Chains A and B, each alone.
Chain A
């Protein structure tokens, strides 16, 4: 199962400069483990320990098919073949 993950500029040091990489996993947590296996070090940039549990870092946003995973089950968000994942740093929007 291949899921495309778009990587922000700031994390491309881990993907050899690739803008998008393929990964697999039935959940976002599993997919991040798979990413880590192929691009060591990336997990630590995406995830931190919060009260003994893995959680997305505060300034990391992850979208599955354009929807923010914090509202769809977080790291437990279920994934299917063909989903598109975008990782972006949290920045100030227009205003």
Chain B
């Protein structure tokens, strides 16, 4: 395969069967299979390359992003890394607002690609990063905040890319499972499946962090991404670090796929759906997102020692 530049390689990721983890053919003949969409095979190693590229191209088209502009973005890591790569290739400066409690690898990668980092307080997690970024944006009206939580191009990347790719590779797909952060993946893919394959059920896996991350001063400071439309999903599961770590280890042990911790949460929801389908005696082809590889999380300690130890190390960290 030949491409003109790295940015042209975004998307078109493999959809891979999981022969060991799939429940397989049931006594009544119904088959339940799991399929992993390997988004870690994007250029910077995560699904966020899609959103970053789409947001930049749409901002260029509508004229808000011009040569030499500075881009500002609140991010816990992957979106920043993707934006940093795309910004470097397109000639923009990037400033990321990032919570303190994110893995060191993510900071090093951002700096490598030339991004500048403003740290936001650990307590409050991404909520604080969004708040600080909005404040910085007000101080620098000439900077362009792409704002992944509310930018329709984030969802459009999955409406035009991720979902049609899955439907082309697996026309019999019955369920789509992805992580819920900005909600962009689920909103874009959800809308595509509602329109083109309405039988597909949309399942959200939401990482449940330690208490520090939910440390709001009052409930009115809560946050629901502007992109979120709950009619586009059918069920939503909250997955804690213990289940996420257990599943991410199962994925490498059984299928050889080395994924990031949030993928463990997504797999947990996918396996929960598989168990429901088995119980109901229904055929199911469950496609789930491998959002990134495990490389950036080695320092979190999630991949070694007992599950108890890993869970303890992740306490207070933004692990997805």
A interface residue numbers (CB < 8 A to B):
8-10, 45, 57-61, 63, 66-68, 70-72, 86, 88-95
Q: Which of A45, A68, A91, A94 contacts B216 (CB 8 A)?
A: A91
Q: Could you give, for residues 220-250 of chain B, a 1 whenever the CB lies within 8 Å of some chain A CB and a 0 otherwise?
A: 1111110000100111111110000000000
Interface check B162, CB cutoff 8 A: no
Known: A68-B238, A91-B213, A93-B181. 11 other contacts (CB 8 A): A45-B219, A59-B224, A67-B238, A68-B235, A70-B236, A88-B214, A89-B214, A89-B221, A91-B214, A94-B76, A94-B181
Q: Could you give, for residues 166-182 of chain B, a 1 whenever the CB lies within 8 Å of some chain A CB and a 0 otherwise?
A: 00000000000001111
- B216 & A10 in contact (Cβ 8 Å cutoff): yes
- B181 & A9 in contact (Cβ 8 Å cutoff): no
- B180 & A93 in contact (Cβ 8 Å cutoff): yes
By beta carbon, the residue of chain B nearest A86 is B238
Contact size range, B: 35 or more
- A89 & B262 in contact (Cβ 8 Å cutoff): no
- List, in ascending order, chain B residues with CB within 8 A of A45's CB: 219
A70 to B230, CA, bound (A): 9
Minimal beta-carbon separation of B315 from chain A (angstroms): 14
- B234 & A71 in contact (Cβ 8 Å cutoff): yes
Minimal beta-carbon separation of A43 from chain B (angstroms): 13
Minimal beta-carbon separation of B186 from chain A (angstroms): 11
By beta carbon, the residue of chain B nearest A70 is B230
By beta carbon, the residue of chain B nearest A69 is B236
By beta carbon, the residue of chain A nearest B222 is A59
A71 to B108, CA, bound (A): 39
B interface residue numbers (CB < 8 A to A):
48, 74-79, 102, 124-127, 129-130, 148-149, 179-182, 204, 206-208, 211, 213-225, 230, 233-240, 262, 318-320
- A91 & B222 in contact (Cβ 8 Å cutoff): yes
Minimal beta-carbon separation of B280 from chain A (angstroms): 16
Minimal beta-carbon separation of B218 from chain A (angstroms): 7
By beta carbon, the residue of chain A nearest B131 is A92
- List, in ascending order, chain A residues with CB within 8 A of B223's CB: 59, 90-92
- B214 & A92 in contact (Cβ 8 Å cutoff): no
A63 to B320, CA, bound (A): 19
Counting from the closest, the 10 A-B pairs by CB-CB distance are A59-B222, A93-B181, A92-B126, A68-B236, A94-B320, A94-B76, A95-B181, A90-B222, A92-B223, A95-B182
Q: Which of A61, A71, A89, A92 contacts B235 (CB 8 A)?
A: A71
With known contacts A95-B149, A95-B181, A67–B237 Cβ distance under 8 A: yes
- A58 & B214 in contact (Cβ 8 Å cutoff): no
By beta carbon, the residue of chain A nearest B184 is A95
Q: Which of B78, B124, B237 contacts A68 (CB 8 A)?
A: B237
- List, in ascending order, chain A residues with CB within 8 A of B129's CB: 92
A10 to B148, CA, bound (A): 27
Q: Which of A67, A68, A90 contacts B224 (CB 8 A)?
A: A90
* A–B complex contacts, Cβ < 8 Å, 9 sampled: A10-B216, A10-B218, A67-B238, A71-B234, A89-B214, A89-B222, A92-B127, A94-B126, A95-B79
